[in-house]
């Protein structure tokens, strides 16, 4: 009986040990989780071989902050969008800001406001969804790099689309021309898309003749390079989603400005609804290329200029009808090309 009791006690302690071990494996050590994520990230995004210990430590600290934000957000069952690690995970805030660059002019120049009453379509005729992503006239997503030239990319995509619709031939145009030559804007230090369209009334070069370098250089544009010319453009009524839809359907992609905050950099999928970006000054230019509804949430389909590896193949779905991140404040569109 004594030995039987001893065996029972021994079994009890073994069971407790196994339960403790399982608990450690299930709950895990947060530091182990970060280490594993860091090692995996490094396997696909290695730092420069000559990176100093101080540089590595700084990048790892930035990554840990991003990892905490992403993990906490993705575990929220009520989240309408998901986040992931990408090239921004190891960047400082100042480095991230270099990928923005929307700078509204002090006195918003008087581009004509489009009168939606003149557009022969009613809101009752608007489809439930519209998506130009698969349209042959919308070029592949581009990458501005660490140059605050989003305004140039926001200006060029609608021009490419409009020119293609006129000629029935896809065309890829030059953002670098704007960065180098548009003196009303600031190159890699930011600018505004309607100011860029004003400059492009004198013609826009093909990208093949004026390739992108992500730095501001001496202007090399000549009229012989021109492949498209802006004839007229207009602003769309602010804070009027229906007006945006009407114009988007009639003329094509809309240039808009938004406010980018930390969660935006890590966007992966779903409808972006973060309230942290609301009621703040805009800082980034993007292009609206459609609309739809997902899980009861209306959204805009938004084309970014951070390459196809960011977000959903270079795109993000942003909540529609609530002026999310200021997206409905400054919509504008190219009306015609020469």
- Residues with a known catalytic role: 150, 284, 304
Give the span between the Cα atoms of 289 and 303, in whole angstroms: 7
Return the C-alpha torsion angle 286, 291, 292, 294, nearest 10: 10
CA distances for 64 relative to 68, 119, 265, angstroms = 6, 51, 15
The alpha carbon of 248 is separated from its chain's Cα centroid by a whole number of angstroms, namely 19
Give the span between the Cα atoms of 162 and 160, in whole angstroms: 6
Q: At 336, give phi and psi (nearest 5°).
A: -155, 155
Task: Report the candidate in 225, 149, 154 with the shortest Cα–Cα distance to residue 190.
Answer: 149
Residue 324's CB is within 10 A of a number of other CB atoms, namely 22
User: For 130, left (φ over 0), alpha (ψ -120 to 50), or beta?
Assistant: beta
Residue 323's CB is within 10 A of a number of other CB atoms, namely 16
The alpha carbon of 251 is separated from its chain's Cα centroid by a whole number of angstroms, namely 22
């Amino acid at each position: 009986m004594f030995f039987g009791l001893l065996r029972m006690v021994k079994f009890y302690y073994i069971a407790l040990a196994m339960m403790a071990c399982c608990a450690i494996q299930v709950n895990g050590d947060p530091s182990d989780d970060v280490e594993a994520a860091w090692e995996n990230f490094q396997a696909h995004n290695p730092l420069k071989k000559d990176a100093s210990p101080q540089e590595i430590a700084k990048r790892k600290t930035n990554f840990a902050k991003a990892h905490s934000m992403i993990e906490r957000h993705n575990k929220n069952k009520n989240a309408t969008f998901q986040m992931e690690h990408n090239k921004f995970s190891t960047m400082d805030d100042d480095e991230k800001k270099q990928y923005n660059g929307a700078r509204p002019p002090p006195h918003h120049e008087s581009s004509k406001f489009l009168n939606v009453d003149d557009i022969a379509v009613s809101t009752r005729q608007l489809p439930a969804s519209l998506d130009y992503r698969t349209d042959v006239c919308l070029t592949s997503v581009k990458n501005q790099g660490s140059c605050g030239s989003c305004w140039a990319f926001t200006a060029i995509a609608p021009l490419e689309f409009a020119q293609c619709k006129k000629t029935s031939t896809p065309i890829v145009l030059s953002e670098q021309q704007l960065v180098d030559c548009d003196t009303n804007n600031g190159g890699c230090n930011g600018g505004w898309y309607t100011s860029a369209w004003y400059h492009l009334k004198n013609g826009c070069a093909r990208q093949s003749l004026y390739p992108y370098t992500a730095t501001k250089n001496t202007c090399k544009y000549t009229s012989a390079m021109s492949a498209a010319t802006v004839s007229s453009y207009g602003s769309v009524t602010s804070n009027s989603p229906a007006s945006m839809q009407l114009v988007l359907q009639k003329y094509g992609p809309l240039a808009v400005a938004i406010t980018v905050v930390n969660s935006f950099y890590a966007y992966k999928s779903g409808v972006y609804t973060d309230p942290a970006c609301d009621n703040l000054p805009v800082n980034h230019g993007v292009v609206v290329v459609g609309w739809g509804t997902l899980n009861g949430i209306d959204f805009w389909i938004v084309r970014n200029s951070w390459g196809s590896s960011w977000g959903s193949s270079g795109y993000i779905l942003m909540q529609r009808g609530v002026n999310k991140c200021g997206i409905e404040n400054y919509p504008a569109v190219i009306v015609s090309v020469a």
